[in-house]
Structure 1
Amino acid sequence: MNGRPNPNPASFEPSDEREEIARLLPAPADWDLPRGRHLHHKDLLMRHIDRDQATTAPTTAITPAAATAPAATAAAARPGRRRLRPVLLAPVTALALAGIVTAAFALNDGDRKPAAGTSSDAAADMQPVSALLGQISDAAGKRDTPTVRDDQFSYVREKVREADLSSGKAVVGPLHDYELWLSQDPEPVQKQGLIRSDGKTMPLNAEFGDTNGTPAGFSRPTYQWLASLPTDPGRLLDHLYAKAPQAENRERDQAVFEQIGDLLDQVMPARTAAALYRAAAKIPGVTETPRAQDAVGRRGLGIARSDTKNGVVTEWVFNTQDFTYLGHSTRLTKDTPYAEAGTLLDSSALLKSAIVDKPGRLPGSEKK
């Protein structure tokens, strides 16, 4: 390669094409995605494949990894899952997309011991934010939680917005509705529930690679699974450092902080919620933030942590009166080729969290 596109693309071998397109793609954001974010990007990949196949020759090849994606993901319009990371893909050929995305999203299971300096022993010195998180924890521990059956579904309704980086520049999309129905079955499931995003409804099938169904866990946090987590804050933090999905190029402390944040909109036992907040207080670098607000502009108390390695800050927002969780935001803290410091990457505002009997039903209503 000489820094310029090959003037004769037809002479490319497949591996040459992948390398050339990978080189030409805009620099992606510096973080990797935990396993729970894969579905969104898998759907985005398939959306690009559909679009490219509609405008290019039908002989374009797809890698085995893309070819094994569930058939339901091939629909042209796919809403993403919640807690979206900015869109990192450019509209190029399906072959290149499949190869690049498969490589970029490779993860391990995170089942190692906490890294030195990041276990609960090293984090035992309470941060200055611990007083506020203690208040939030105490309030959460006093809330009533329902009895949840295995045949029911958790329900979350939010307003969300995300940045799209596929053009090489961050373009923050409009605020839109997001609803999620998630199966509470403790066994691995092929049909997780439903997603309704910006008026479009799609089935939520097993995650990519879960041939036997997606089990309960960090990417499908059922009430029963949440109840099984340790309720001692120190033991819980050790468990999170050892078991939460991890990715390269991201601080482990930040990954655990964000993993806790990904659970906060779920219905869970009061004692689990209380333990999560006290565990968060032990993570190095967690701070209070002034003037926190969620995706719809509700102002509240902020709990945040910055990943100095990758230049992003994630902030949780809580009601100033009763300490209920309101939502989150993630922003850049340093200039990048695709956006300036302060640019919003994603945000949410939690409007409802409940348990319902069927996917598609709303709390307190039998209408679908």
Structure 2
Amino acid sequence: MDDLKLLAELRSDTPPMTTETARLARARLLATAAEAERRTVPAHAGRAGVTRRRLFRVAVAGGLVTAAAATGIAVAGNTEKRTDHRNPGPGVPLRGTPVANVVDLADRAAQAARTRPFTAPKPEQWIYIQTRSAPMADPGEPNGPVASRQRRTTAQWIRADGKQEATVDSNRKLTIDDLLPAEPRFDYPYLSSLPTDPDRLLATLRASADEPVGPRDVAVFSNIGVFMRNGLIPPQVQAALFQVLPRLKGVQLVRQATDAAGRTGVAFAIIEEGYLRDELILDSRTYRYLGERSIVIKNHVSHGDDGDLRSRKGEIVQWAAQTRIGVVDKPGQRP
């Protein structure tokens, strides 16, 4: 029998390959080739210089005050059980194979996000977020480097309807305030309204990145970092956000990056102004968001009305880790 005819008969009962299946098959092939050839991806990729750092300060504005230190490092979905990041749980794709490229990372992260259990919070519930970060070395210079050997733990509760926030001061006093307007928005009603189609989502994010100081796609990258850091994102939206990232001009893969909690993962990254690399760090096994780091990759002088800012290669200007996120019934509770 003709070989091609035999092959056709053998495949007659096989359903056609979907776009997603083809993409994952290609990712596996690229990953295998990458492992065989031991290729190295350049480590230059970062995010939004002064713009990025300003957005970081705005995003956490509202009273994140040092809270009691966490008793263990955890990263959870929106369940009320503590989840150890070393125990990835179900739904993790391609485990044990190296990430081939930034598109492969996006596909893996999106697939993992879609498979995670998720229950939408009720409007009257609260979203708890715990962050571990390195404080500024000089509080008088907010755009300068962080004190890389110091850490602080902060806690914040945001009402799921986006109307209120709560913080705890150094005396453990709980304060509830109206949630102030933020740009970009990161409240749950807004995040849950975003398109789940990556192309539509990219168009939406580019349109909403008003008056960026740098390139518009750098502003979009920065805004996605704000969403990941300060919001509870529905799985389908988070999957689309991951798939938006490699569509942004200049986004690259960093194979190894460490968050402020000491966890090492893989990162999306972009470079701003040729000297600052900003990284969105994911767990390399579960592809959960871990944190962010902005690192100076070459000496640079930024000129401003209030003087020059000198950045030296190797300085870290932002370093944070999201150590816990979950849904609780009232402010002051912890998942």
Common fold, TM-score beyond 0.5?
A: yes
**What CA deviation, in whole Å up to 9, does each residue of 1:108-127 have, x standing for no partner?**
xxxxxxxxxxxxxxxxxxx9
- Any residues of structure 2 matched to 1:18-33 within 5 Å, and which? 30-31=50-51
What is the alpha-carbon distance in structure 2 between the residues aligned to residue 171 and residue 322 of structure 1? 28
Q: What TM-score, normalized to structure 1?
A: 0.58
What is the alpha-carbon distance in structure 1 between the residues aligned to residue 190 and residue 266 of structure 2? 28
Alignment of 1:321 onto 2:294: no
Q: Which has the higher contact order (CA 8 A, sep 6+)?
A: 2
**What CA deviation, in whole Å up to 9, does each residue of 1:301-357 have, x standing for no partner?**
121111125x32111111122111111111223324444122111111222111111
Counterparts in 2 of 1:204 and 1:289: CA distance versus 1, 3 Å = farther
Q: Which residue identity does 1:145 align to in structure 2?
A: F
What is the alpha-carbon distance in structure 2 between the residues aligned to residue 35 and residue 304 of structure 1? 16
State the number of aligned residues.
Answer: 242
Secondary structure, in 3 states, of the residue corresponding to 2:225? helix
What is the alpha-carbon distance in structure 1 between the residues aligned to residue 174 and residue 295 of structure 2? 29
What is the alpha-carbon distance in structure 1 between the residues aligned to residue 287 and residue 169 of structure 2? 27
Q: Which runs of 5+ in 1 are unaligned?
A: 1-28, 44-72, 81-126, 364-368
Secondary structure, in 3 states, of the residue corresponding to 2:199? helix
* Identity between Structure 1 and Structure 2 (%): 24
**What CA deviation, in whole Å up to 9, does each residue of 1:68-113 have, x standing for no partner?**
xxxxx8xxxx839xxxxxxxxxxxxxxxxxxxxxxxxxxxxxxxxx
Counterparts in 2 of 1:254 and 1:201: CA distance versus 1, 3 Å = farther
Partner of 1:276: 241
Q: Structure 1 residue 195: deviation in Å?
A: 2.6
Alignment of 1:305 onto 2:270: yes
Q: Structure 1 residue 177: deviation in Å?
A: 0.5
Q: Structure 1 residue 38: deviation in Å?
A: 3.4
Q: What TM-score, normalized to structure 2?
A: 0.63
Partner of 2:175: 203
Alignment of 1:79 onto 2:82: no
Secondary structure, in 3 states, of the residue corresponding to 1:147? coil
Q: Decide which of 209, 214, 218 is 1:254's aligned counterpart.
A: 218
What is the alpha-carbon distance in structure 1 between the residues aligned to residue 58 and residue 247 of structure 2? 28
Counterparts in 2 of 1:39 and 1:303: CA distance versus 1, 3 Å = closer
Contact 1:158-1:352 within 8 A present in 2 as well: yes
Alignment of 1:172 onto 2:153: no
Secondary structure, in 3 states, of the residue corresponding to 2:51? coil
Q: Which residue identity does 1:153 align to in structure 2?
A: W
Counterparts in 2 of 1:35 and 1:322: CA distance versus 1, 3 Å = closer
Counterparts in 2 of 1:360 and 1:133: CA distance versus 1, 3 Å = same
Alignment of 1:288 onto 2:253: yes
Contact 2:256-2:267 within 8 A present in 1 as well: yes
Q: Give the aligned CA root-mean-square deviation in angstroms.
A: 3.0
What is the alpha-carbon distance in structure 1 between the residues aligned to residue 139 and residue 204 of structure 2? 36
- Any residues of structure 2 matched to 1:136-175 within 5 Å, and which? 136-167=109-140, 170=145, 172=147, 174-175=150-151
Partner of 1:3: none
What is the alpha-carbon distance in structure 2 between the residues aligned to residue 199 and residue 258 of structure 1? 33
Partner of 2:313: 341
Partner of 1:12: none
Counterparts in 2 of 1:350 and 1:318: CA distance versus 1, 3 Å = same
Q: Structure 1 residue 171: deviation in Å?
A: 5.1
Contact 2:209-2:216 within 8 A present in 1 as well: no
What is the alpha-carbon distance in structure 1 between the residues aligned to residue 172 and residue 294 of structure 2? 25
Q: Which residue identity does 2:126 align to in structure 1?
A: F
Partner of 2:4: none
Partner of 1:61: none
Contact 1:170-1:338 within 8 A present in 2 as well: no
Q: Structure 1 residue 275: deviation in Å?
A: 0.5
Q: Structure 1 residue 31: deviation in Å?
A: 3.1
